[in-house]
A and B are shown apart, each in its own frame.
Chain A
């Protein structure tokens, strides 16, 4: 059983992600802001039930996805896969994701099934080169080259 933490401040998108990803094989925890994401992460570590993947919205109240990533990487020294999902595809978003230590960043809006395929690629432990290569969205194709 794999565990995912979904952090997204838009309840509609969060609901859609839960519907898309959560199944008998994947347990999802969902939170609406960055501070709640940190609390959920700490709780999971404390209970020795760590997450296998975190997908974090970049723009969230209280703490951004980047800040949550920095917390996990620098303060917790954890290399759990973290994906930043952002509506911004400018170079700053990519640079910020790299700076924070995110595993990858994916643009919004995205193709739900492609999103799921990439999540499954990460959860199955595939190396990055073998992740699904088709674009999550048209903007993704542009920004990822």
Chain B
């Protein structure tokens, strides 16, 4: 039995108990002043109240459970989406354009280092030439 069915059963039960209470009150209303009626009815009324309380408590538990299940499945969805996204990113990074994107900064850095060393070499050479022997 899933949550929805449980809800429906509880709701049905609640309606039946409410009808029972109403019927009982209607039927015995005319003879209520008589003492023996209270002796018979009061325990029944108390039992009905207990059943109503139990139904209310169960309904709250089912509602709470449904809320928790919803939260759990929402976080499962979020986890799956995140996983799929990261796998897609990983796949993207394995393509040529992805590889170029990934390694372009490193290549640029190495090229700039070579350029810098080239400039430095020319500068040092010109300095050495300029120094009188």
- Using a CB–CB cutoff of 8 Å, the interface residues on chain A facing chain B are 9-10, 33, 58-64, 66-67, 92, 96, 98-100
Contact = CB atoms under 8 A, between A and B. Distances in A.
Contact of A59 (B2, B69, B72, B81): B81
A61 B76 contact: no
Contacts of B2: 98
Contacts of A10: 87
A54 to B, nearest CB: 17
B102 interface: no
B81 A64 contact: yes
Contact of A64 (B69, B80, B87): B80
Give the 4 A-B CB pairs with smallest separation, nearest first: A59-B80, A59-B84, A61-B84, A64-B80
Contact of B81 (A61, A96, A99, A100): A61
Contacts of B69: 99
Contact of B83 (A59, A98, A100): A59
Would you call the interface of chain B mostly helix, strand, loop, or mixed? helix
A64 B80 CA distance: 7
A98 B69 CA distance: 12
Nearest to A58: B80
Given A9-B87, A61-B88, A92 B76 contact: yes
Size class of the B contact interface (CB-based, 8 Å): 10 to 19
Would you call the interface of chain A mostly helix, strand, loop, or mixed? loop
Contacts of B72: 92
A64 B81 CA distance: 6
B85 interface: yes
A59 B73 CA distance: 13
Contacts of B64: none
Interface string B68-107: 0100110011001101110110000000000000000000
A82 B35 CA distance: 64
A9 B84 contact: yes
Nearest to A32: B88
B84 A60 contact: yes
A12 to B, nearest CB: 10
Contacts of A92: 72, 76
